[in-house]
Amino acid sequence: MPQRATKRGAERTPLDRDCDVLICGASFAGLAIARELAASGADVLVVDRYEIGERQTSACGIPTGWLDALDLRESLQQTFGELVIHTPHATVRYKLPWTFSTFDYRTLCGLLWDRLPPTHFEFETAKVDGRTGEVVHTDRGDIRAPLIVDALGWRRVLGAADNIQPPDALLSRGLEVHPFGPGQEMEVWIDRSYVPAGYGWSFPAGGELRIGVGSFDPRFHVREPTERLARDLDADRVRYQGNWIPHALRPAVEDGVFFAGDSAGHCLPLTAEGIRTALYFGLACGRELRMVIEGRQTREQALERYGAFSASHARPFRWMLRVQRLIPRIAPRALAAGLRAIDRQRFIDWSFGHYLAVAHPDFVRAAPRATASRAAATGIVRA
Ligand SMILES: Cc1cc2nc3c(=O)[nH]c(=O)nc-3n(C[C@H](O)[C@H](O)[C@H](O)COP(=O)(O)OP(=O)(O)OC[C@H]3O[C@@H](n4cnc5c(N)ncnc54)[C@H](O)[C@@H]3O)c2cc1C
């Protein structure tokens, strides 16, 4: 049984405080932002409704280069050099130009958090309910900060408009089971008998399998196909994990708030890969915030620059959304023929190279060096 670590009842004391930066959401995007603020000297508060690493939000598959770039290899569970795609009429096996790995969510989040200086970083479990200007309302009280980040996932809780609601929003749905068992291959099923528009997957993770189905159409329920895929693979239907997954970019800044990860629609359409993009845009957001803390730009400049940075990625996101919409319209036999036809190493290297470049691990090293300098001039950092 999973252990609940989140504080309950009397442990949940009232929360009423100020900080320089409030990061709402302690998963991939939120922790990447915190990482960039580590040496800024800012007083940072991170809140999440669960303890850090308590509630896994995905199958935890990522290009291995990202684990290396962030020095997170300790969380790595299994590595794959090939992608196996099954369709009703063909199985193809692509040798990837870079490897993909599964990792342990709790370990990865713990590593990111433990590297932050405890003198400046605090974590509180609280459910974020909304915001009025620079005041964020939680179920434990109000928190005030001049720099506020929504890294809360697809709900975009701190957005100015009404919360984005399924099934009408541009969201996919995904559900997986986590049976124990060995596996050697990273496998994907594009098969209408499981899901009319979407795909199934099996990601082995060092003694556990993450078997799931994702539907690009939010009205299509995925519980039955997920269970059927698990049954077809002779795997137990246990330890369910599911969520909505955005498949379109949303503005990364709005009404003075920064959004990163799923809250900004940073998950890639077609593949529903949203971890490395949450890390990537989280790093970018954190760097802009750090420059505010250091007095090198104003909050308004940071909002403008980060918003423009996110929007500058619209093209690959648009393209992938087009392909996501196209694939379900291709007849299964034609799809099988197409997948076989592109099985040329040069084409695979080229296409997967471009795919990685949308959020490349080199971005981690591109960081300007953090400085501990602080400037009261911004009025944001207290002396
Ligand atoms: C079944 C499934 C499998 C997936 N597999 C993969 C995969 O293998 N690889 C990949 O790259 N992507 C995968 N994804 C997509 C990926 O999970 C997301 O894109 C990614 O988690 C986004 O990171 P994030 O930090 O923006 O948000 P999240 O990881 O969703 O984190 C949001 C955080 O906010 C907290 N939170 C939410 N609401 C509140 C609130 N009101 N108050 C306080 N805290 C709150 C949550 O507890 C959570 O910690 C998968 C998605 C699903 C549904």
Please tell me the distance between residue 345's alpha carbon and the centre of ligand 1 in angstroms: 33
Ligand 1 pocket member 211 (CB < 6 A): no
Distances (CA, A) of 334 to 89, 197, 341, 343: 9, 16, 10, 14
- Point out the ligand 1 atom lying closest to the alpha carbon of residue 129: 41
Question: Under a CB-based contact definition with an 8 Å cutoff, are residues 140 and 17 in contact?
Answer: no
**Which residue has tokens 């490349």?**
360
Compute how many other C-beta atoms are within 10 angstroms of the C-beta atom of residue 183: 21
- Point out the ligand 1 atom lying closest to the alpha carbon of residue 261: 26
Peptide bond into 167 cis (omega under 30): yes
Q: Is 294 helix (H, G, I), strand (E, B) or coil?
A: coil
Distance CA(67)–CA(362), nearest Å, equals 11
The whole-number pLDDT of residue 73 equals: 98
pLDDT digits (tens, 9 = 90+) for 99-154: 999 999 999 999 999 999 999 999 999 999 999 999 999 999 999 999 999 999 99
pLDDT digits (tens, 9 = 90+) for 243-276: 999 999 999 999 999 999 999 999 999 999 999 9
DSSP state of 366: T
Nearest CA to ligand 1 atom 37: 152
Please tell me the distance between residue 95's alpha carbon and the centre of ligand 1 in angstroms: 28
Please tell me the distance between residue 262's alpha carbon and the centre of ligand 1 in angstroms: 7
The pLDDT-based confidence of 2 (bands split at 50, 70, 90) is very low
Residue 372 pLDDT greater than 60, yes or no: no
Residue 232 pLDDT greater than 60, yes or no: yes
Is residue 303 exposed (0-12), middle (13-18) or buried (19+ Cβ within 10 Å)?
Answer: buried
